[in-house]
Structure 1
Amino acid sequence: MALNLEQTTSLIVERARQLVNQLVEDRGHDRPPFLSEEYARLRGIKRIEKVDLGEVSAILLKLHDGDVIRVNQNHNLTRQNFSCAHEIGHALLSELNLEPCIEDVEFRTFNPQAHALARAKARERLCDAAATELLMPEAVFKKYLSGFGASIKSLEWLADIFRVSISSTAIRIAEVSAEPCIALLWHPRPRTKSKALRLAWRVGPGKKSRGKANYMPVHTLVKRTSTLYKAYQYDDPVKCHKLFRLDAGVKRLPVESKGFGSGEMRHVISLAFPDR
C-alpha cells in the first residue's frame, strides 16, 4: 500500500526517535544539547569534514569504505549542526527505503519539471523533520518548554540550550507547545524603497497547520509606523496585537516579537497566542 507524505514523515520521525533513545541510553541522560556528531557515531558515519562548500550547506558522501558528511565550514556552528543532522536524515531516508514513497506521491501539476521540484522539496522536508527530532527531541523539548513557557525570552533560551537556530526553535515551539502558539517570520520587502516587513512564513498552532489559510494574519505587511516594526529597528522585544483569521472569523491576538541578525540577514520572529 502506497504511503502518503504524512505517513512517510511519521516513519522517518519515529526512526529518528529511536536514534534519540539509543543516544540517551548510551549517555545515561537526556540533557540537551543533542549534537549531530553523536548521531553520526551511532549511525556508523566515518567522519564529518568541515570544508568550503560554497553555497551548499552539507552533503552526504557514500564511499566504498563508509559514509562521510561534508559540512560548510563558513556557516555558524548551529547551522552546521542542523545541516549535518539533515544529512543523517538522508541516511535514514535511504535506510527505510522511503524514496519510492516520494516518487509515488501525486502533485497537482501538469508540468513534469514542477513534479520533480515538488518531490525534491518533499524529500528535503522529510530530512528536516528527522533533523528536528534528532536535535530537539519532542519529549525533551516539551519538558523544557513547559518549564519556561512559550515566549520570546524562552525562545532565545531554548535555542541556546539545544544549540539550534532561533527560527528552528520558533517552529518547534509552534508545533509542540501545549499552549496554542503561532510562529511567524518577517523579512524586509526586497527591492523597494518603502520601509515595511512582509510575512515570509507562518507555522502553528500544532504540526498540521502549515500552508492553511486559517491562523494567518489578516495583514501580511508590517508598515514602518507599526509597533511590530520597532522589533526590526531595535534589539528589545516588543508586544502588540494583530488580527488573525481563526476558523470562520477574525480575532485580535497578543503577539511578542524580536529582531534577530544584522544587515541583509536582519529579520523578525513573532509568537502569537490564540488562547490568551
Structure 2
Amino acid sequence: MNSREKALMRARQLMDDYFSFGGSFPVNMKMLASIAGITVKEKYMEDDQSGQLVIQAGKIAAYVNIFDSPVRQNFTIAHEIAHTLMDEFDHIQFRKKESGQDEIERLCDEVASELLLPTAEFKRQMVKHGEKLASFKPLSKYFRASLEAVAVKFAGCAQDQNRAILMVTDFHSAGRRDLAISGVIPLSNWDIFVPKGLSIGKERHLADSFYKNAPFEQTMQLSLGHLQGEYLVETYPSKFQQSGKLYNKGYILLSK
C-alpha cells in the first residue's frame, strides 16, 4: 500500500469515527479536527497564507486565516488534517492560497476533498441535482464548501468525462479587464488544450452571459484557440468585490 492509499484509508477511518460520534453533513470540520487530535484556531496571517499546522509539546494546532471565508476555512482545516494522515508528517506545515505543484500538497488537497466532500455522498447528491453547473450552488451549500472545491470534486465524480470546466474572470493582477480563462479543470477524457489567459471576449454571447448575469445551457459554435466547432456549453456567472470594485467570475462547462 503506497502513501496515497494509506492516507485515504486513514481519512475513511477518521470519517467513520466522525459519524460514530453523531456527525452529519455538512461535515463539522472543527469536530472532525478534534477527533483527529487537532485544535483549530483563527489567526491573523499573511494574505497569501490560508493555514498553518503547529506542533508544540506534543499537541497539534491548526491555524486558519481569520480573514478567509467559512467555506475556505473549512477546506483549509481539512487540508491541515490531511497533513497529519501522511507518513511524511513530522514538522510545521503552511498552506498557501496557491499551493503550487508540490506532490505532498496535491495529495493533501485530494485527501482534504475526501474529508469535506466524501465521494459516495457527493455522487448521491450529483444524482439528485444533476451533472450540471447549476448543481454547484446546492452542492456548495450542502457540503459547506467553496465552488472551486465543488468543481474539482465534480470533475472526478461525473460520469460523462468528455468535458472540461473553465474558470473565467475579468479580474487580473496585470490590470487587464477582459473576460478570460483563469483556470481549467479537464475531466479525464478531455484532450483539447485550453491555455490560461485565453480571452473569451470575441465570443460575445458567451461573454454576455457573465456581464449580464444570464446563465444558459445550449449547443453553440465556438472559435477560441483550439476550441473550434460545436460544443454543448453551460455557464455559471457570478460576481465579487475586490478593493471596492465589482468583477465578474464564474464557470463554463464544455462538452464535446
Q: Deviations over 1:8-28 (max 9, x none)?
A: 44442332222222222332x
Q: Contact (CA 8 Å) 1:78, 1:163: kept in 2 or not?
A: yes
Matches within 5 A, 1:18-167: 18-27=13-22, 31-45=24-38, 47-55=39-47, 56-93=49-86, 96-97=87-88, 121-167=102-148
Q: Deviations over 1:181-205 (max 9, x none)?
A: 4222113273355x53322222232
Question: Which whole-Å CA distance do the structure 1 matches of 2:252 and 2:5 have between them?
Answer: 28
Deviation at 1:51, TM superposition (A): 1.7
Secondary structure of 1:258 counterpart: strand
Aligned residue number for residue 226 of structure 1: 204
Structure 2: tracts of 5 or more residues without a match: 91-98
Distance 1:58 1:215, change over 3 A: same
Deviation at 1:215, TM superposition (A): 3.9
Distance 1:244 1:61, change over 3 A: farther
Aligned residue number for residue 232 of structure 2: 254
Structure 1 segments of 4+ aligned residues over 4 angstroms from their partners: 242-245
CA root-mean-square deviation: 3.0
Question: Which whole-Å CA distance do the structure 1 matches of 2:58 and 2:160 have between them?
Answer: 48
Distance 1:81 1:62, change over 3 A: same
What TM-score does the superposition give when structure 1 sets the normalisation length? Answer: 0.74
Q: What is the aligned residue count?
A: 237
Question: Which whole-Å CA distance do the structure 1 matches of 2:80 and 2:50 have between them?
Answer: 10
Q: Contact (CA 8 Å) 1:60, 1:69: kept in 2 or not?
A: yes
Distance 1:34 1:175, change over 3 A: same
Deviation at 1:251, TM superposition (A): 5.7
Deviation at 1:124, TM superposition (A): 1.4
Distance 1:242 1:15, change over 3 A: farther
Aligned residue number for residue 196 of structure 1: 178
Question: Which whole-Å CA distance do the structure 1 matches of 2:50 and 2:140 have between them?
Answer: 20
Secondary structure of 2:204 counterpart: coil
Question: Which whole-Å CA distance do the structure 2 matches of 1:123 and 1:184 have between them?
Answer: 25
Deviation at 1:65, TM superposition (A): 4.1
Q: Contact (CA 8 Å) 2:45, 2:65: kept in 1 or not?
A: yes
Between the aligned residues of both structures, percent identity stands at 22
Is 1:15 aligned to residue 10 of structure 2? yes
Aligned residue number for residue 112 of structure 1: none
Question: Which whole-Å CA distance do the structure 2 matches of 1:244 and 1:15 have between them?
Answer: 46
Aligned residue number for residue 95 of structure 2: none
